[in-house]
Amino acid sequence: MNIGKYLRLRRIVRSDGRTVIIALDHGIALGPIKGIEDPVLTLKNLLKCNIDAIMLNRGLLLKAYNVVAGRTGIVLSIGDVKELLDIKSIVKDALKLGAVALKVMVLIDDEIEGATVSKLSTLSIISNMWGIPLIAEVYPRKSRSLNVIAKYCRIVSEIGVDLIKTFYTRDKSSFKYVVNASLSPIVVLGGPKVENIRDLLAMTKNAVEAGAIGVAYGRNVWQYERPELMVKALNMIVHEGVEVNEALRVLEGGDA
C-alpha cells in the first residue's frame, strides 16, 4: 500500500467517501474576476466554511500559506499537462509546499494528443512514486457530449490518475454512464456561475446519486452572495444526502 498517498487522499475525501472541494485557481486564466479581486480575502472567508479541500495555484499558496495552514487539504493546480517541463521538480515542489494532491488540466480538442498521454503517464508514475494523489481535470473544449466525456474519462483513468474532475452530462442516467466508464472516482466541476441555484443543487444531487464522489466548484461558491451558505447546502447534499428542497431552504433562509 502507498501509505503516503492514502493519507493524503484522506485529507481530500472524508470517511464517507465524499468530498466538497472549492476551486480557487481561476486567477491564472481569468484574472481578478468578481469574487477573487482579493484572493487572499476570499480564501480567508472560504476557510471559515466546512470545506474538504481548496484548489490553489502556486502563487496564491506562496502568498497565503499561513492563512491555509492546518485548515484544509491543499490541492495544487499545476497547469496544462502537455506544457509541463520538469515533472519531477514539479512534484517535489508540490510536496515541499505541503500540497496533499496535484491537479492538472487535460485539455482536449478533437482527439487527445500523444504528448498529453505521454506527459500524463509520466506525471502519474512520478506522483505515485512520491505518494501524492493526482487529479486530472478532463476538459473537452469543442464537444462535451456524453460519449466524448465518457471516452476521455476512461482514457485518463486508464493512464492511472487518482481522481477526475469533469463536466456533468445532461442527466443522472447519462452521467452514471460516465462514472461507470471511468476507472477513477469523479468529481463534478461547476463552470461559470449559474443563475438558477436550484439547477446547481439539482445537478449536485443527481451527480452524487449517479456515482460521483462529490464536487469541485469555484465561481458558483465564491461568486454567490453568501458563500458560507452555499458550502453548507453543498455539504448537506454531498455528505448528508438531503434532498434539493431542504438544501435550498438553507440558501433562501440565510441561516448558516
The verdict on whether 205 is a catalytic residue reads no
Q: Residue 119's pLDDT is what? A: 97
CA distances from 219 to 23, 222, 231, 240 (A): 8, 5, 12, 23
Among 92, 93, 139, 176, the active-site one is 139
What pairs with residue 75 in β-bridges? Answer: 55, 101
Among 25, 103, 193, 232, the active-site one is 25
Q: Residue 255's pLDDT is what? A: 59
- Contact between 104 and 136 under an 8 Å Cβ cutoff? The reply is yes
Among 5, 82, 165, 205, the active-site one is 165
CA pair distance 224, 41, nearest whole angstrom: 15
CA pair distance 250, 227, nearest whole angstrom: 12
Which CATH number does the domain housing residue 193 bear? 3.20.20.70
Total structural domains in the chain? 1
The verdict on whether 25 is a catalytic residue reads yes
Q: Residue 253's pLDDT is what? A: 81
Mean pLDDT per 10-residue run, the chain (256 residues)? 94 97 97 97 95 98 95 97 96 98 96 94 98 98 95 98 97 97 98 94 98 98 96 98 96 74
Torsion of CA 9, 147, 144, 219, to 10 degrees: -30
The verdict on whether 152 is a catalytic residue reads no
- Contact between 101 and 9 under an 8 Å Cβ cutoff? The reply is yes
For 162, the domain range is: 3-253
pTM over 0.85: yes
- In this structure, the number of other CB atoms found within 10 A of the CB of residue 196 comes to 8
Q: Residue 110's pLDDT is what? A: 86
